[in-house]
Amino acid sequence: MSDYKKTLNLPATTFPMKGSLTQNEPKILDGWYQTDAYGAMIGANEGCTPYVLHDGPPYANGHIHIGHAMNKILKDVIVKHRNLTGRQAQYVPGWDCHGLPIELKVEQELGGKNKFSILEIRKKCREYALKYLDIQREEFKRLGVLGTWDKPYLTMTPDYETATARELANFYKLGSVQRNKKPIYWCGSCETALAEAEVEYDDHSSPSIYVRFPLQAEELARVFPQAPADDSFIVIWTTTPWTIPDNLAVAVHPDFEYDLVQVGGTFYILAKELVAGCAERFGWGEWSVRATVQGSALEGLVARHPFYDRPSPVVTADYVTLDAGTGCVHTAPGHGREDYETGLRHGLEILSPLDDEARFLPSVEFFGGKNVFEANPLVIAKLTEVGHLLGSEKIRHSYPHCWRCKKPVIFRATTQWFIAMEHDNLRGKTLGAIDNDVRWIPSWGKERIHSMIKFRPDWCISRQRMWGVPIIALLCKDCGDAYFDGDWAHGIVDRFATHPTGADYWFEAPLTEVVPKGLTCPKCGGTHWEKEDDILDVWFDSGTSFAAVVEGRPECSFPADLYLEGTDQHRGWFHSSLLASMGTRGVPPYKTVLTHGFVLDGQGRKMSKSIGNVVAPQEIIEKHGAEVLRLWVASENYQEDLRISDEILRRLVDAYRKIRNTCRFILGNLSDFNPATDLIATADMLALDRYALNMVRAKHQTIQAAYENFEFHKVYHTLHNLCTTDLSSYYLDIIKDRVYVNGATSLERRSAQTALYHMLLMIVGDMAPILSFTSEEIFQHLPEAMRPAGSTVFAMRVPEIEGALLTEEETAIWNLVFAVRGDVTRAIEPLRQSKELGHSLDAKVIIHATGEAFAALSGVASDLRDVFIVSQAQVTDQPAPAEAIQGEVEGVAVVIARALGEKCARCWIHDENLGTDPEHPTACPRCTKVLKEYHA
């Protein structure tokens, strides 16, 4: 028996059964960087069609989190796949280095910003960003992500800052930039303006108040002659009592009906539809409607401010709604976009007497020095004191908060720099590009960003901070007007390019060096200038990355093929990039935009430190390896929110083992296979092998189509099912006898090995973008004669098998064979359970078939024993006996009998001719032949 074992062609490979990923991945990483695997991957596609996936820059602050890991793995999967399929896809990682979080951290470390110069703070910010950039770079590399990690793009380098500032100069030349006083989001805690992308909405408790404004007699008599001059009011509702001091008007809708309501001797004006609800809320016992007019008739009435001696005219506005309140809208032009537009139309002052910390200026009567939120109860108390508060309560509603400090923000009118959305039809052109020029995946992304662009205000591009690209402009010290000529700005930008720290030039250069000789203010004729000290919005920074990287790097080309980020970037990077490119190029910076969801815990909850459900990628890598994390990313439909938990990861570890073991089995059975000498021509392969190879090719094509469509969960599920079911449970089990037992160089064995060879290369190519470490390990363990050219798996080209492997008739026959195999397996299983059969090889199968089924099965009768994994199989058209089992295949019945003959000691198959050769009395004729050849 021991001699027989030596004669078997048992699997042999150095590829280990256990992945030991946590120990082996770092070794594979070292190999990639020692041999420049990324360079080999790119070099293998020299001259091929370029594919540009432009990296949205993560912020250089802190360690990477699970969302970062998912994002980078998704990008890596795409880049590797495109290279493996014959496109040159470079990956240039980037980092967003400017902005508030780093500046605040540095200020905290320095003990305040007032102790140091702007250049000292900028230097510290640069050092801080570099520190975390290095940390994140190593963490990203540990994920198995390949790219130009030694030459990333950074928004703080001179070349990048130059590109950003040059885009600002381009907007200057187009006339798109304006400097105005407008209400914008403002964070009093961070003391800066905020972009819409920097505002998050969360629940907030606000006071909800109803206030009556006294009406002046002269205009009132014209509309409501019956109303008393000294006891008539218009009623407003607001959830921001602190803005009442800055009220300058009351807005009504021109098309709504408004009632004059009498309560005792007092008269009130409210929207007709809201009178009943308000009367109940205010506790009006008896009331009556004395008159009704269109809102347009109210225009021209003049109210008085409830506690300041100034008028508050009644104006009309289309944005007034009847959803809540009174239908009469308190209007403070300095604290709301719609209020601001109303103020412009009616010549109202843009009043916003607040400092940078959102405190009322000392000159504001009653509330000077108070933070706006502290002022809310004080305003309510003042309204109560003067008798003009009709009602007050607390409500919880969605309210904007600062993305950084998480505190509520306000609308504050300040002088800022804007890119005008209507100039040169920027809004219209951008909407057209969204609809016609960009592919949005998922498709709802188009509607989302379309709505955002359609209704957004002018783009506020200025920030009152220090760490960023400066706004290149001069301010007249005599009148405050600004000078920002495009050609002049381009000249300044040229100096950024040659300065060691880029935009620091603006802060270092003496005024005389940047002010054009003889420059006079076009507004007042003044000659006294100072440099603007605002910086650009960081979204303008990152949004101009197409200019710095996609156009600026020789390995890239404009526009990018793909931008891939989270769904929040419809209002962030996708948004700012689109506006910046449309404004100066007239075309989008990308062809396709792909978004992914957010990572939730196993119960579908948002991750939170307070809940304790945060899953760190570093912990997953330490426990399971980066390969399992990569598999998790691919296994989920990332276009929706993803869940992660220990249980989910455990299932993936099991799935990984099965995929690995399938590959190991195939590798082990190819140890003596040399494609140069042993490959069997497709036409000469056994039909079963051609059928199996055809099946794998079909799955391979499904996988490749899924990669092209960014459907990586389909890749995972197809690959997993292929390895664990189609191959391991069927084909690989079937061919074991032939591969182990037949002669080493026999046609039957070489045919199976040829199929396995083609299958393995397809599988490795299919799994390499996702299971990168394991694919590399398999590649390095391939027998040298089988290994594709190149030092790394990523330098290979995903193989394709051309031409037909089976005719339609053959395919139909083998589909029938495997359907009957299912019936046979189900028939044998009860006999094994009852111990009537020890193994399927103890069985003989008689297939009773009729008509076409008999004809088809008879043609492959000699293969059925192998396919069914039994000792004997025969096909007959005789009527099935009563004990025959009718399976799921129509026209086919199965009879299971005990196999005839004795069991061969070498192959374990029962054979009636066992022992016919005296030299091998326990071997069947097939094994006897192989043994004679073996010992020859």
CA angle 594, 539, 573 (to 5 degrees): 5
Provide the sign of the torsion angle of the four alpha carbons 834, 837, 838, 843, taken in this order. Answer: negative
- Joined tokens for residue 776: 């590399």
Which of 837, 820, 836, 671 lies closest to 756 in space, CA to CA? 671
CA 364-369-375 angle, to 5 degrees, is 80
Chain centre distance of CA 165: 28
Report the relative pairing of strands 910-911 and 902-903 from DSSP bridges.
antiparallel
Nearest to 179 by CA among 532, 706, 699: 532
Distance, CA of 522 to CA of 779 (rounded, Å): 70
DSSP SS3 for 237: strand
Q: CA torsion angle for 752, 754, 760, 763 (degrees, to 10)?
A: -90
- Return binding residues for ATP: 609
Question: What pairing do the DSSP bridges indicate for beta strands 843-849 and 892-898?
Answer: antiparallel
Kindly state the helix (H) or strand (E) to which residue 493 belongs, with its residue range.
helix 486-498
CA dist 217 to 230, 290, 313, 867, Å?
7, 17, 13, 101
| Lookup: tokens for 653 | 């570890």
- Residue pointed to by tokens 């193994």: 839
Residues that constitute the known binding site: 565, 609, 904, 907, 924, 927
What is the largest distance, in Å, between two alpha-carbon atoms of the chain? 130
Residue located via tokens 């795409």:
78
Q: In one letter, which amino acid is 472? A: I
Best CA proximity match to 244, nearest among 393, 396, 366: 366
**Residue 358 near residue 185 (C-beta atoms within 8 A):** no
Continuous H helices in 283-407 = 337-345, 372-386
What the block records as the tokens of 862 is 């000699």
Task: Phi first, then psi: give them for residue 890, nearest 5 degrees.
Answer: -65, 135
Residues at the binding site for Zn(2+) are 904, 907, 924, 927
Q: Token match 């920097």: residue?
A: 198
Tokens in use for 210?
């109803």
> Are the C-beta atoms of residues 734 and 756 closer than 8 Å to each other?
no
d(CA 483, CA 463): 18
In this structure, the strands spanning 257-263 and 288-294 are: antiparallel
Which residues are documented as binding site for L-isoleucyl-5'-AMP? 565
CA distance 696 to 336: 62
Cα–Cα distances (Å) from 670 to 15, 727, 737, 761, 837, in that order, read 12, 16, 15, 12, 33
Cis peptide before 559 (omega within 30 of 0): yes
- Residue 644: closest CA among 596, 609, 607, 594: 607
Give the C-alpha separation, 910 to 841, whole Å.
Answer: 7
Q: Do the beta carbons of residue 470 and residue 534 sit within 8 Å?
A: yes
Rounded Cα gap, residues 101 and 493, in angstroms: 26
DSSP state of 913: T
